[in-house]
Amino acid sequence: MTHATGVRERARELRRQGWTYEQIRTELGCSKSSVSLWVRDLPRPEPKCTPEEQRARMNAGLARLRADRDRERQATKQAAAAAVGDLTERELFLLGVGLYWAEGTKDKPHTRREIVEFVNSDPGMVQVFLAWLDLLGVDRDRLHCRVLIHESADVAASERYWAGVVGIAPERLGRTCLKKHNPLTVRKNVGDDYRGCLAVRVRQGTDLYRRIEGSWCGIVWGAGSTASRNVRF
């Protein structure tokens, strides 16, 4: 018996027990149209359970479906992570340039700010950025790090957390920037997992910024896109 045949027979069995199309769909993880196709020749059964029991079955089926999807999601992520492997220095360099150009402070014609500052709430992003700076030979003593967070959060805990990510004592962080709390705003970034953002700035980073911008232009040119021919310094 094939898998599809087994699912169809199970659907017919559940239908004979009084299950609705929706309950069968949830239980078997298939489409409602497939259930209809498989059981349409069967007479509509009389319900053999109370509405409360029906809801309990549906909730149990949904819980199993969510658990299966979570396992599938995690397996896909783990396989993808393992496929990356170790990065070469060139790969880390190119990754860091792209990462900075997406998330870092950039110079504008109307505002000359040739500074290197990276702000992010994802500790993984910060760790990659720090590893990239290490690759470029930027001494950690040149870094100025500070936390940006809502004043209603656990500021001290967040400072300890980000100091741990960077590998420094909390007192070595710059002054934390507190965002005023607006009670009328419905925020999603709340709870124990909310730690705000970390801003990492490289002191005396003008030359480094110019190298980053030049490297990004090189990446665009190297990609061979039509747009790359329009890039100007």
Per-residue pLDDT 10s for the chain (233 aa) are 577 788 899 999 988 888 888 889 888 888 989 999 999 998 887 666 777 887 888 888 888 889 999 999 999 999 999 999 999 999 999 999 999 999 999 988 777 789 999 999 999 999 999 999 999 999 999 999 999 998 888 899 999 999 999 999 999 999 999 988 776 665 566 667 889 999 999 999 999 999 999 999 999 998 876 555 565 65
Q: Are 25 and 31 in contact (CB under 8 A)?
A: yes
Residue type, 134: D
Q: How many CA atoms lie within 13 A of 35 on its CB side?
A: 20
Q: Are 39 and 15 in contact (CB under 8 A)?
A: yes
Q: What is the pTM of this model?
A: 0.69
The candidate with the shortest Cα–Cα distance to 207, out of 120, 141, 136, 144, is 136
Q: Are 145 and 199 in contact (CB under 8 A)?
A: yes
Q: Hey, where are the domains in the chain? A: 3-83, 89-230
Looking only at the bridges linking them, the beta strands covering 177-179 and 197-202 are unpaired
Residue type, 93: F
CA–CA distance, 225 with 228 (Å, rounded to integer):
5
CA distances for 136 relative to 89, 102, 131, 148, 213, angstroms: 10, 18, 9, 26, 14
Query: pLDDT value at position 187?
Result: 57
3-class secondary structure, 147: strand
Query: pLDDT value at position 230?
Result: 61
182: left (phi over 0), alpha (psi -120 to 50) or beta: beta
